[in-house]
């Protein structure tokens, strides 16, 4: 009798152990399935992000694929003629596009004469005089702007005169905006020949600060060739400030030509 009871207890214990093993295996399978689901969801989110939100011309990718020439154009180093004022060369109702050929590629700027008529006229006039040919992009501000158009190449030069088109109070500076540089103490909308291209969505905070409003005359927007802009923006920066300064290699404006339609 006691042997029978002992066997029953042994069988019950063995059954309990088997149930415990099955439960443990079930929990392990459940954890493994949950892990697979989480991994799949993460991979799916990453894939969707790559498909819908990845920009092939971001500065990081441009840095890897950029083929910026180091060859200086024939007009590099030429002393530029300065002017007392620009001739009036644009006509109302016409569209003007500045084609900027650089050592990192070409980009087009659709000029907006309604937004900045005096400054756009100045840019068209200077381009027709080949003023920009051979100049450089002398400044890269990482995740902010690239800047060029200075005949001195150091941020202090200009065409010999200034224009002024005060930007609207509600003006913004999204990526691809082309606007005119000015000194910190100069009135809003003051412009010479130095222009910049916005390369970051956060730039608006600095270009149109709360309390003071938009500061820089907007002459247009890049309509094609942002890959060239991003290639310049991704270049290594020389000087003591790793995020703001001249590019480590010269970036030339081979030419700026105007298309009229």
pLDDT in tens, 126-163: 999 999 999 999 999 999 999 999 999 999 999 999 99
Q: Residue 98: CB partners within 8 Å, gap ≥ 6?
A: 108, 109, 111, 123, 124, 127, 220, 256, 257, 258
Task: In whole angstroms, give the CA distance from residue 18 to residue 10.
Answer: 12
Residue 130 lies in a domain: yes
Within-domain flag for 48: yes
Tell whether 9 and 82 lie within a shared domain: no
Q: What is the DSSP string of 13-62?
A: HHHHHHHHHHHHHHHHHHHHHHHHHHHHHHHHHHHHHHHHT--TT-HHHH
Domain span at 100? 69-260
pLDDT of residue 40: 47
Whether 127 is in a domain gets the answer: yes
75 found inside a domain: yes
Residue 44 lies in a domain: yes
pLDDT (0 to 100) of residue 50: 35
Boundary-marking domain end, from 26, 54, 82: 54
Q: Are residues 252 and 161 in the same domain?
A: yes
Task: Tell whether 61 is covered by a domain.
Answer: no
Residue 42 shares a structural domain with residue 90: no
As a whole number, the mean pLDDT across the chain is 85
Same-domain pairing of 151 and 191:
yes
Provide the whole-model pTM: 0.75
User: How many distinct structural domains can be found in the chain?
Assistant: 2
Per-residue pLDDT band for 66 (boundaries 50, 70, 90) equals low
Residue 139 within any structural domain of the chain: yes
Residue showing tokens 């890269």 = 140
* Coil/strand/helix, residue 96: strand
pLDDT one-digit tens code per residue, 180-220: 999 989 999 999 999 999 999 999 989 999 889 999 999 99
SS3 240: coil
Return the minimum-mean-pLDDT range out of 57-71, 107-121, 244-258. 57-71
Indicate if 193 and 144 belong to the same structural domain. yes
CATH number, residue 101: 2.40.100.10
Q: In this structure, are 11 and 125 located in the same domain? A: no
């Amino acid at each position: 009798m006691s042997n029978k009871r002992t066997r029953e207890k042994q069988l019950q214990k063995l059954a309990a152990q088997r149930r415990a093993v099955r439960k443990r295996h079930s929990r392990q399978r459940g954890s493994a399935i949950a892990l697979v689901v989480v991994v799949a969801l993460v991979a799916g989110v990453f894939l969707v992000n790559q498909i819908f939100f990845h920009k092939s011309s971001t500065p990081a990718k441009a840095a890897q694929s950029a083929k910026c020439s180091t060859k200086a154009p024939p007009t590099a180093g030429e002393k530029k003629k300065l002017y007392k004022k620009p001739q009036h060369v644009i006509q109302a109702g016409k569209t003007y596009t500045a084609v900027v050929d650089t050592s990192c590629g070409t980009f087009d700027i659709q000029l907006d004469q309604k937004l900045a008529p005096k400054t756009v006229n100045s840019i068209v006039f200077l381009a027709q005089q080949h003023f920009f040919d051979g100049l450089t992009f002398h400044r890269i501000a990482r995740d902010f702007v690239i800047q060029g158009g200075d005949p001195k190449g150091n941020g202090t030069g200009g065409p010999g005169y200034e224009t002024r088109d005060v930007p609207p109070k509600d003006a913004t500076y999204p990526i691809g905006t082309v606007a005119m540089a000015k000194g910190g103490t100069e009135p809003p909308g003051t412009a010479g020949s130095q222009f910049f291209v916005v390369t970051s969505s956060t730039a608006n905070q600095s270009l149109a600060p709360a309390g003071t409003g938009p500061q820089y005359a907007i002459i247009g927007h890049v309509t094609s060739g942002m890959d060239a802009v991003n290639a310049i923006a991704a270049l290594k920066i020389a000087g003591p400030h790793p995020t703001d300064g001249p590019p480590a290699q010269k970036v030339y404006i081979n030419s700026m030509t105007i298309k009229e339609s």
